[in-house]
Amino acid sequence: MKAWRFYGFNDLRMDEVSPPSCKPGHVVVKVLCVQPSVTEAQLARGIRTLAYDRIKVRLEREAPVQLFGHEFCAEVVEIGQGVSKVKVGDRVAARAKLPCGQCSLCLTDRSNLCRKGPVIGFDLPGCFSELALLPEIALVKVHERISHSEAAGLQSLSDSVAAVETAGIGIGDVVAILGQGSMGLECMQVARNCGAGKIITVDVRDEACAKSLELGAEYSINASHNDPVVAIRDLTDGNGADVVFECAGGSPKQGLSGNRSLGQAIDAVRSGGKIIGVSWFGEPLSLDIDILRERSLRYLFPDISTSEHLEHTVRLVASGRIKLQPMITHVLQGLESVPEAFEITANKGKYKAICPAQVML
Ligand SMILES: [Zn+2]
């Protein structure tokens, strides 16, 4: 079968490799649609972000290696021994971070806390290939009302569902979301479904602000023309938002805010309020902790997305409560267009992309 393999950072080649053989507890799938995550698009270029050191070591020791591809929709073509949740012909998507199934947490029904298991695309081959071997525990069945394209966005959405759950939004809470890329727009829509009151979003791109308003934000501030902290305080009687999602941080080389949006989140949240850290910064940050202490701020990080989150994500999209289709701006045809999808996803501002670029097989 054809599969993309990494020979190093910035060195991706489509090779002919042996198709995967099925194993107990696993399924073989035919990939229908796949997209690089923003993190993967950065890692492919050797930009420091989540898991950079791990990927670097794998490239040094194992190249050429099949990496990435955890955001996908695929059809089950073979099931291994003991598989009961899915059957041949089902369409599936997956969560990426898996429990190990063997540690004391996993054995006492707390596998959501386990960090010892593999991550699809990082430790196991993902779906930048014609076929893939996937563990059953990762999978969710895709509802018939969800398109291949939308299904490829379910993994990211399930992380956003977990982030909003972590936020514990109260009915009527003012919610601000900094960054209206895919996860920012997802957090906005999920927060709206979870009782948020006034919803204020921020981005530096007009097209992202427009998309945010279209999908349900009450106010969307373009931070290239207006100070978002002043605007959020003006909209909250000077108090600040109850909850701020920080979804804009990361490498400025990719059009992200560096750590500027984290400073804005701290200034825009009310005292005693919550900041939900969705971004990955890729390097240590210097932070004045005393400000957080003095203002009783809660800086929280999203829980890992579980199979329950993923099931709920399917329900949200199938029922039309969350709209993914309007966020999908770039759909390419054929496995050979994978490098173009990485290029677009790594430079979303330049290509006016909202979600990662997708590849249809
Ligand atoms: Zn475990």
Average pLDDT, the chain: 96
Predicted local confidence at residue 282, as pLDDT: 85
Are the beta carbons of 356 and 71 closer than 8 angstroms? yes
Tokens 């906005």: give the residue.
Answer: 188
Q: 344 C-alpha vs ligand 1 centroid, how far in Å?
A: 36
Residue 349 has pLDDT above 90, yes or no: no
Å from CA of 105 to ligand 1 middle = 6
CA of 114 to the centre of ligand 1 (A): 4
Cα–ligand 1 centroid distance for 197 (angstroms):
38
For 260-317, write each residue's pLDDT tens digit.
999 999 999 999 999 999 999 888 999 999 999 999 999 999 999 999 999 999 999 9
Centre of ligand 1 from the C-alpha of residue 154, in Å: 24
Distance between CA 229 and CA 275 in Å, rounded? 14
Q: What is the mean pLDDT of residues 157-182?
A: 97
H or E segment to which residue 333 belongs:
strand 331-333
Distance 252 CA to ligand 1 centre (A): 35
pLDDT bin (cut points 50, 70, 90) of residue 255 is confident
- Cβ atoms 149, 91 nearer than 8 A: no
Q: Would you say 253 and 234 are in contact if contact means Cβ atoms under 8 Å apart? A: no
Cα 216 to Cα 203: distance, rounded to the nearest angstrom: 15
Q: Measured in angstroms, how far is the CA atom of residue 159 from the centroid of ligand 1?
A: 19
Amino acid (one-letter) located at 224: S
Residue 81 is predicted with a pLDDT of 98
268 Cα: distance to centroid of ligand 1 (angstroms): 38
Q: How many angstroms separate the alpha carbon of residue 109 from the centre of ligand 1?
A: 10
Q: What is the pLDDT of residue 254?
A: 73
Report the percent of the chain where pLDDT is more than 90. Answer: 94
Host H or E run for residue 176: strand 175-178
Q: How far apart are CA 189 and CA 215, in angstroms?
A: 7
Interval between CA 307 and ligand 1 midpoint (Å) = 15
Residue 191 has pLDDT above 80, yes or no: yes
One-letter amino acid of 121: G
Using DSSP, state whether 12 is helix, strand or coil: strand
CA of 91 to the centre of ligand 1 (A): 27
What is this structure's pTM?
A: 0.95
C-beta of residue 127 within 8 angstroms of C-beta of residue 72: yes
DSSP state string for 74-113: EEEEEE-TT--S--TT-EEEE-SB---SSSTTGGGT-GGG
Ligand 1 centroid – CA 56 distance (Å):
25
Phi and psi dihedrals of 252, rounded to 5?
-60, -20
Distance 131 CA to ligand 1 centre (A): 27
DSSP sequence for 198-259: SEEEEES-HHHHHHHHHTT-SEEEETTTS-HHHHHHHTTTTS-EEEEEE---B-GGGT--BT
Per-residue pLDDT, averaged over 152-179, amounts to: 98
Give residue 305 CA to ligand 1 midpoint distance, Å: 15
Q: List the beta bridge partners of residue 65.
A: 6
* Torsion angle of the four alpha carbons 344, 334, 66, 21, in this order, in degrees rounded to the nearest 10: 150
87-125 as b/e, with b when 16 or more CB fall inside 10 Å? eeebbbbbbbbbbeeebebbeeeebbebeebebbbbbbb
Q: Decide if 227 contacts 219 (C-beta within 8 A).
A: no
Of how many residues is the chain composed? 361
Token pair for residue 13? 């080649």
Q: 158 CA to middle of ligand 1, Å? A: 20
**CA of residue 119 to ligand 1 center, whole Å:** 13
